[in-house]
Amino acid sequence: MNNTNSIPCCPICSNTLSLRVATGRKSGKPFIMLMCSVDGRHFRGFICDRNYVRQVMEQVEAKQSKEKK
């Protein structure tokens, strides 16, 4: 799963951050990656808290379901 949404803002350039929900390569555990949408070298952050990641994934799936209708 590789969904992208936008949230503010890169601490370097003040542009929008990209939010990606993905799974770890080795572990297969889901995580959220925050990355500067202009230049990924500016800022990258990772959220691995299972409960939070699950909530975000549920919100993304619900949003996708509504968009399909």
31 contacts 48 by C-beta, under 8 angstroms = yes
**Phi and psi at residue 62, to the nearest 5°:** -65, -40
Q: What is the pLDDT of residues 23-58, one digit of tens each?
A: 877 888 888 999 999 998 999 999 999 898 889 888
Q: What is the pLDDT of residue 2?
A: 47
- Among residues 26, 27, 9, the alpha carbon closest in space to that of 18 is found at 9
46 contacts 33 by C-beta, under 8 angstroms = yes
Q: Is the pLDDT of residue 7 over 70?
A: no
Q: Which residue ranges make up each domain of the chain?
A: 3-68
| Residue 37 structure tokens | 């949408």
Which 3 state secondary structure label does DSSP give 17?
strand
Q: Is the pLDDT of residue 3 over 60?
A: no
Q: What is the pLDDT of residue 1?
A: 43
**Phi and psi at residue 36, to the nearest 5°:** -60, 130
